[in-house]
Structure 1
Amino acid sequence: MMEGWLFVSPTLIGFLVFFLGPLLAVVYYSMTEWNLLTQQATYVGLRNFENALLENPDFWLVVRNSVIFAIGLVPLNMALALLLALALSRPFLGVVFFRTIFFAPVVTSAIAWAIVWKFMLQGEGGAVNQMLSWIGIDGPNWLRQPSWAMAAVIVTRVIKMVGLNMIIYIAALQSIPRDYEEAALLEGASRWQIFRMITWPMLAPTTLIIMVLTTIGSFKVFDHIYQMTGGGPENGTLVLAFYIYQQAFKFFNVGYASALALIMFVIVMILTLVQVMIRQRGAE
């Protein structure tokens, strides 16, 4: 009995220290008015949640921005990852090189990646606008115009993380038996019919996993917003994770930030459950 507890103790201690403990602390702090500078905490019950959900208009702006970011990022990331996986799932000369090229941004420092893109997306001096000028297009100041800033952050984030989903899709494609495809080809099926009737249904479990992970990641995005836009312009890219950071470490409202963190946890959990339920109904 004791030997078993000794074997699981590292995992158990890690769970208590790094997950359960902080989670309980956030629940406690969310019901207090605690200023990080004064270190004074006053119990206020559900006041922080009422303030966020019923009184603070900025909260719903932030939620809207987070939803827009997720709606823009998740489908684009998944579609591009699937296209790359279909192109790179079979062996050909140079396939390893191309897989490495598309996966390299995943292991690149997110801050370094954001800094580079911040310079590239500047106004007239940015590399992107200079290349657009070669074909007669006058590009905008991507990160300083509200109508373009969100799109710029979404696209740069997709390029950064698409390689991870590409690798997952490649592994799933390579696990599909080739017998199905060969039999369909003998029956005269086209490539599109094979993909629609065989490949895509067999990728459904992998697609669900990728969708859930990408959705969760889209709500947790912080580094790109912090480095590229700082939530601007005009709060156009102020998403929930960055808003929580502002409340906790810029305005020092730890209690309110903890309440926001729990709200974000509930939102992500609900979205995850909805995706799982939709997948289950589709399978039925």
Structure 2
Amino acid sequence: MALSVARRARTVSRAGWWTGRRRDHLLGYLFVAPQLAGSLLFVFLPLALVLTYSLNEWNVLADTFSFVGADNYRRLLSDPNVPSVLMATGLFSAGLVVLNLSLALLLAVLLNQRLRGTTVFRTLFFSPVVVSLVAWTIVWGFLLQDNGGVNAILRIAGVEGPNWLRTGSWATLSVIVVQVFKNVGLNMVLFLAALQGVPKELFEAARLDGASAWTRFRRITLPMISPTVLLTSIITVAGSLQVFAQIAVLTQGGPGTSTTVLVYYLYQQAFQFHHFGYGATLSVLLFVIVLALTLLQWRMRRRWVFHEA
């Protein structure tokens, strides 16, 4: 009798501990566990390893791995190539972001009109997004050669085109344009979705009040789609700082170092010169730059993003 009473008491105690709230908490943890495991395995663990490697010098050819402390960071501060690399990275990123966002918004506004053939043009502009990056870049490499397709078309028009990929400023512009044409469709689709969510009543009321098309765009359209502008700007800025394949295929960082952006310089140091510790240090610098720019955009959102004031 006493044994059955004790067993019943333990059962009641377990039932009292296993409440609905605890069950909901466990289900929530189970749902986020795959994402958390993926983040730990593919984000935080690589970050920790990169930071560790930056404090060491790893020579694969000599099979040596030695602790050097802050030597790689001191080398970063005294590296004479870093200022030009950061300058090339800044110019490339600024040109890419401005051109990409401007063109994507312009295309989205045009394709948001009720005109025939807009579905075809949407597909046409978005299709490069799903094309293989390397294949896309190789094709453009042939087109931009001195005797390639672009200059052939210009000669028909009586214009002598430059050697696009072997002339400093033209090489940077060429890589920017190739990258913009590759990914502008993605931002265009995001802007188009945002434009279709703007209430039509606002435009009708503004039109009745005599507002011009530019005023309606500036006072209604831009504020209403500003959250999407923030999203696309963060994605585009982060992506512009990580462009590698286009540089490697089209210019190999040249002519000179005019297109040697930080990611490509990192690749050269780590995988061409086998300075893996210094390459990891450059990776840390890239991470800090991307993080700082992302946080800056996020902090500034209150000044211009609708509903964030």
- TM-score range normalised by the length of the shorter chain: over 0.9
Q: Distance in 1 between matches of 2:192 and 2:110?
A: 9
Which residue matches 1:70? Answer: 93
Report the counterpart of residue 137 of structure 2 in structure 1: 114
Q: By how many angstroms is 1:147 displaced?
A: 2.6
Greater mean alpha carbon deviation, residues 204-213 or residues 222-231: 204-213
State how far apart, in whole Å, the 2-side matches of 1:59 and 1:165 are: 31
Q: 1:174 to 1:240 in 2, by over 3 A?
A: same
Give CA deviations for 1:44-74 in whole Å, capped at 9, x if unaligned: 1111111112x11111211111000011111
TM-aligned CA distance change 1:3 to 1:276, over 3 Å: closer
Q: Which residue is 1:43 aligned to?
A: 67
- Structure 2 CA distance for aligned equivalents of residues 204 and 211 of structure 1: 10
Identical counterparts, % of pairs: 48
For 1:8-23, list aligned pairs within 5 A: 8-23=32-47
Q: What amino acid maps onto 1:163 in structure 2?
A: G
**For residues 233-244 of structure 1, what are the structure 2 equivalents within 5 Å?**
233-244=255-266
Contact map agreement 2:226 2:304 (CA 8 A) in 1: no
What's the counterpart of residue 161 of structure 1? 183
CA RMSD after TM alignment: 1.4
Q: Which residue of 1 aligns with 2:247?
A: 225
Q: Say whether residues 1:52 and 2:50 are aligned partners.
A: no
Q: State the partner residue of 1:254.
A: 276
1:279 Cα deviation after fit: 2.8
Q: Under a length normalisation based on structure 1, what TM-score does the superposition of the two structures give? A: 0.95
SS in 2 for 1:236: coil
* Shift in Å, 1:82: 0.5
Q: Hey, what does 2:204 align to over in structure 1?
A: 182
Shift of the alpha carbon at 1:169? 0.2
Larger radius of gyration: 2
Residue 276 of structure 2 aligns to which amino acid in structure 1?
V
Contact 2:97-2:240 at 8 Å conserved across structures: yes
Whole-Å Cα distance in 2 between the matches of residues 94 and 268 of structure 1? Answer: 39
CA 1:281–1:90 in structure 2 vs 1: closer, same or farther (change >3 Å)? same
The residue number in structure 2 matching 1:276 is 298
- CA distances 1:137-175 after superposition (whole Å, capped 9, x unpaired): 110110011131101111111111111100000011011
* Structure 1: stretches of 5+ with no match in the other structure: none
Cα deviation, residue 6, structure 1:
4.1
Pair 122,20 (structure 1): closer, same or farther in 2 beyond 3 Å: same
Number of residue-to-residue matches in the alignment: 282
